[in-house]
Amino acid sequence: MRKRAFTLVELLVVIAIIGVLAAMIAPALVAAMGMANQTACAWNLKQIGLAVQLYLNDNDGWFFPLYDPPESGAPGRVWYYGFEPNGSPARGEGNRILDRTQGKLYPYLRTAGSVRCPAVPFAGPYKPKYQGEPWTYGINRCLSTHPSPAGGNVRGNGSCNVGSIRGRDTSRTVVFADAAQVVTHLAPATTSNPMIEDFPYIEPGRPYVQVRHGGQANVLFADWHVETVPPDKATIDQRLPEAMIGDFDPDDVLYEPCVGR
């Protein structure tokens, strides 16, 4: 007996059905991948939070500065996330050198995987800054600021003591969050070709928070829980609006618990 084969019409019908099913399933797969990225990112922030707590325990509750005060003849700058030697910026964006083993957090956070949000590369034109894994989270600059004279309940390097964050403030004070910035002044970025790069801190009133998880950003708070927070849409950097980089609504978070409290 002769075997019956598919006719062309039957084959086309099967292909059409498969196409319809794929179209129905694709959004669910995209949503599932987005949720997985958000969960992995939140886990990274929890690991960073544990590292920060260990650092605070060893330093009488004082947060680290963004970088050590510059000294004459120093071989480079020690940021909290690594050491950048002199001459590194001259190598160009994406080729700059960063020794993570000399960062303030390295003894407590020894894996580079905990510093990279799985949503990288971000939506939009992305420009890496350093060689190797990027640091995709930003410290609250009000807790860990540039070295400068300071008094009151902040140390001389400008950093805050965790003991100053009390009561409800602990659950609303930002410690770390998803961070990035839009740049136009560092090649290959230009004013006509704005690009995204990693950024090590966030601060009130500046577009450094990147909303990269379903319209929200992951945030580590001072009571060490992580949650997603939406942006203030009016703050989105319009030089590259698709990157969704802006700031939080001041009603949703606190930046400055050490000031006037």
Does 257 map to a domain?
A: no
Does 253 map to a domain?
A: no
Does 119 map to a domain?
A: yes
Characterize 177-190 residue by residue with b for buried, 16 or more Cβ atoms within 10 angstroms of its Cβ, and e for exposed: bbbbbbbeeeeebe
pLDDT of residue 74: 82
Domain holding 21, by residue range, is: 8-246
Q: Is the dihedral of CA 119, 120, 122, 123 positive or negative?
A: negative
Q: Which residues contact 234 (CB under 8 A, 6 or more apart)?
A: 246
pTM score, whole prediction: 0.83
Q: Is the dihedral of CA 233, 239, 245, 250 positive or negative?
A: negative
pLDDT of residue 260: 40
Does 256 map to a domain?
A: no
Q: Is 260 left (phi over 0), alpha (psi -120 to 50) or beta?
A: left
Does 151 map to a domain?
A: yes
Does 144 map to a domain?
A: yes
Q: Is 220 helix (H, G, I), strand (E, B) or coil?
A: strand
Question: Cα(228)–Cα(39) distance, rounded to whole angstroms?
Answer: 10
Question: DSSP assignment, residue 122?
Answer: P
pLDDT, one tens digit for every residue, the chain (261 residues): 555 666 766 677 777 777 776 666 655 555 556 677 888 999 999 999 999 999 999 999 999 988 886 677 788 888 999 999 999 989 999 899 999 888 888 999 876 556 888 887 666 799 889 998 888 999 999 898 765 544 445 566 668 889 888 877 899 999 999 999 999 998 899 999 999 999 999 999 999 999 999 889 999 999 999 999 999 999 999 999 999 999 999 999 999 876 543
Task: Express each pLDDT in 176-235 by its tens digit.
Answer: 999 999 999 988 999 999 999 999 999 999 999 999 998 899 999 999 999 999 999 999
Question: Cα(203)–Cα(255) distance, rounded to whole angstroms?
Answer: 7
- Nearest residue to 190 (alpha-carbon basis) of 129, 125, 138, 244: 125
pLDDT of residue 155: 67
Q: How many domains does the chain have?
A: 1
Question: Cα(68)–Cα(144) distance, rounded to whole angstroms?
Answer: 11
pLDDT of residue 70: 66
Question: Cα(78)–Cα(86) distance, rounded to whole angstroms?
Answer: 11
Does 133 map to a domain?
A: yes
Q: Is the dihedral of CA 200, 204, 207, 213 positive or negative?
A: positive
Contact present, 64 and 144 (Cβ < 8 Å)? yes
Question: Cα(225)–Cα(171) distance, rounded to whole angstroms?
Answer: 8
